[in-house]
Amino acid sequence: MSDTSAAMEVPPELGKPNPGVPPAPPPVSSRERYRGLIWLVAASFFMQALDSTIVNTAVPAMGEALGVTPLGMRIALTSYVLTLAIFIPASPWLCDRFGTRRIFAAAIAIFTVGSLLCGISQTLPQLVAARVLQGLGGAALMPVGRYVLVRSIDKRDFVRAMSTVATVGLLGSVIGPLLGGVLAEYTSWRLIFLINVPVGVVGYWMNRREMPDYRLADPHRFDLSGFLLFALASAMLLTASEVASGGGGQWPQIAVSGTLALIFGGIYVWHSRRTEYPVADLNLLRVRSVWVALAGNLFTRLGVSGMFLLLVLFLQVGCGWSPTMAGLMMVPQALGSICAKWVINRLLQGMGYRRFLLTNTLVVAALLASFALLGRNSPMWVIAPMVFVYGGFMGLQYTAMNTLIYNDLDVKYASMASSMASTAQYLSMSFGIALASLLMEALLQGHAHDDYVVSFRWTVLLLGIVTATASWVFSRLGRDAPKRGASV
């Protein structure tokens, strides 16, 4: 018998079970151990998803109540999303300095108070100010939730955990459109925001029990200069798009805002390379999967983010549907996304990130453009399946894009990567909504202002082209990277 065999041989008495010692419990997966945390993060996603989707179907009613056109209400949507994008980069430092539990609790509280103020707003400026406060709280919900999950959940369970979180969040997308339409038609659009208050109270209670408290004993200094440069560049870009959508030949103001955005952005790039701890670490862009994930997210969401606002306006203003019926047509989109979440892991394992995202992005672009086939008399049984299929492929797209950025990164970069991913997501969403509204406004200039049908058709065709450009970005992924990413 060799030395190795002798070392591995178990004496007979040790191989017998000891009746006085209970058997060792089976190992518990990180997903089971942090089940409460997963549901807490899912609840925050639910609150944000509910708020985002519930507003869309009430835009015409809100515009009528506040004395503005439906497309003029876009500032109430973009201000919230842009605030998310601007303040998300501060979340990693805040977590390091004050701890994830305290920051998440503060985020829930601020978001809830902002929702309350939105519900009692009397004018559009008041609503926009309340949406900014709401966005200030929401800016920490998603990145902190993602960061804590990355820190707590094993890599092999991460995609499944994120799918669970996203599915619960999508329930808010299912309930939101229909509930928004019902409230706007039969009660008051103000209840759309007030509904967040009890959800926020439950989330605050869950945070005290389930949220781990990750922090650094000696955090670095906050990059205030970089934060201000990034905020100014983002605000100037949105200002340029808002001025452009207003028409009236205001090209000098557009040029000034756009030039300032480029200047501030350029100064930030220069600043970040000379700062030890920048608010957004551009060195991570040297990792191919990171820059592809961010750039692909940007072009995809630039094309698709304004789609459901346009569809609601098309159905309510162009086709004369009630808010409830228009909201009902948004439900299949969320149901399609939920169904897609259960197959995404298998698809990524079989195809890999590169082949999957290259193909799926082109399918999404084609489905988006196919909405141009709809007309004023298109029946519900035609629209609902189109929305369901589109939502399914978009659900696949979002999950793949949101997990790609972590593919080749060490866990020590998870906080920064989460912040950058969320920033890119919301920044592109705000510009996507602005771009969709801008195209719609421009195409309405030559028609009666209530002729949303023709304008809707051309707008979705153009947005489909924008979305298709993201497939080229995803083709830049290395051919060997997808197989590694399938295990994320």
- Residue 70 CA from chain centroid, whole number: 23
- pLDDT computed for residue 406 by the predictor: 75
Q: How high is the pLDDT of residue 32?
A: 57
Inter-residue long-range contacts of 371-374, CB under 8 Å, 24+ positions, other chains counted: 371/307, 371/311, 371/456, 371/457, 371/460, 372/456, 372/457, 372/458, 372/460, 372/461, 374/314, 374/456, 374/457
Give me the CATH topology for the region 33-222+279-485.
Growth Hormone; Chain: A; (1.20.1250)
Q: Report which secondary-structure segment, H or E, holds 196.
A: helix 196-210
Spatial CB neighbours of 2, under 8 Å, sequence gap ≥ 6: none
- In this predicted structure, what is the pLDDT of residue 5? 41
Spatial distance between the Cα atoms of 463 and 468, rounded to a whole number of angstroms: 9
Cα separation of 346 and 155, whole Å? Answer: 15
Q: pLDDT tens digits, the chain, 488 residues: what are they?
A: 444 444 344 444 444 555 555 554 444 455 455 677 887 888 787 777 777 777 777 788 888 888 887 777 777 877 887 888 788 778 778 888 888 888 888 998 999 999 899 888 888 888 989 988 988 888 888 778 877 887 777 766 676 777 777 777 767 777 777 788 888 888 888 888 888 888 888 888 888 877 877 777 677 788 888 888 888 888 887 777 766 655 545 677 778 888 888 898 889 888 888 887 787 777 777 777 788 888 888 888 888 888 878 888 888 887 888 888 888 887 888 788 878 877 877 888 778 788 888 889 999 999 999 998 888 888 888 888 999 999 889 888 888 887 788 777 766 677 677 777 777 777 788 788 878 888 887 777 655 545 778 888 888 899 999 999 888 888 887 664 444 333 33
The answer to whether 24 and 170 are in contact (CB under 8 A) is no
* Residues 151, 362: Cα–Cα separation, whole Å: 33
- What pTM did the predictor assign? 0.73
245-276 residues labelled b (16+ CB within 10 A) or e (exposed) = beeeeeeebbeebbebbeebbeebeebbeeee
**pLDDT value at residue 407:** 72
Residue of 151, 77, 139 lying closest to 108 (CA atoms) = 139
User: How far apart are alpha carbons 244 and 264 in whole angstroms?
Assistant: 20
Find out whether 336 and 387 touch, Cβ atoms under 8 Å. Answer: yes
Query: What is d(CA 148, CA 89) in angstroms, rounded to the nearest whole number?
Result: 16
Contact assessment for residue 246 and residue 72, using Cβ atoms and an 8 Å cutoff? no
